[in-house]
Amino acid sequence: MLFCTLLLWSSLNHSETRENQQQIITTEKTVLVIGDSISAAFGLDQAKGWVRIIANKFKGRLNVINASISGDTTTGGRYRIPKALETHQPDLVIVELGGNDGLRGTPIPTIKSNIASMIQDSKNAGASVLLMGMKIPPNYGERYTQLFETMYRELAKEYDTLFIPFFLEGAVGLPDMMQADGIHPTEKAQPIMAGWVETELDRWLSNK
């Protein structure tokens, strides 16, 4: 009788452990990053990039999937995000695109429409969205650069997304923060960028 009691207790205990483990696993949320070279850690060891820093920071709480491609545009992102959403079923999508469009002088309505489509697709899939704002050099003309910057703020407001107005704030224009091309952040800048994202992720998680 004592043996049977111990056997039953052991079985229940192991069952409870498995249930607790399953609970821990299911509480981990998935974050999908759709970005360009800024998020793909161009010119750097990917282990030093801001996405990996965030993944390590939130280990056990977030499963961070980096689907960023160097050189990608909002058009590319718009057409590949449906498959990414289906494959990874994220709880949050980070959209970091538009910089390459701006540098190519792509019409603002086109960029805006593409980003809006990505946001809407993400929301339709049940995911929250963090939109990363970007700026471009002033040599593209005051009107274009202003419309480009404002576009992100308008989208964030219209679709009620989490929002970082300028993802490279605190890096651009400072020594050793940008690579020789003047476009891509150095390793030294990655923790600063990760800090902006961390703040928004903490805010998002606190409401879950």
What is the rounded CA–CA span in Å between residue 129 and residue 78? Answer: 14
Please give the radius of gyration of the chain, using alpha carbons only, rounded to the nearest integer: 21
Q: Which of 70, 88, 181, 206 is catalytic?
A: 181
Does residue 88 carry a catalytic annotation?
no
121 touches 80 (CB < 8 A):
no
Token pair for residue 18? Answer: 């498995």
| Pairing between β-strand 162-164 and β-strand 92-96 as defined by DSSP bridges | unpaired
Does residue 37 carry a catalytic annotation?
yes
Q: Which of 39, 68, 122, 184 is catalytic?
A: 184
Does residue 184 carry a catalytic annotation?
yes
SS (H, E, C) 173-208: CCCCCECCCCCCECHHHHHHHHHHHHHHHHHHHHCC
Angle between helices 108-124 and 142-159 (to 10 degrees): 20
What is the rounded CA–CA span in Å between residue 75 and residue 118? Answer: 10
Q: Which of 36, 37, 72, 128 is catalytic?
A: 37
> Which positions are catalytic?
37, 181, 184
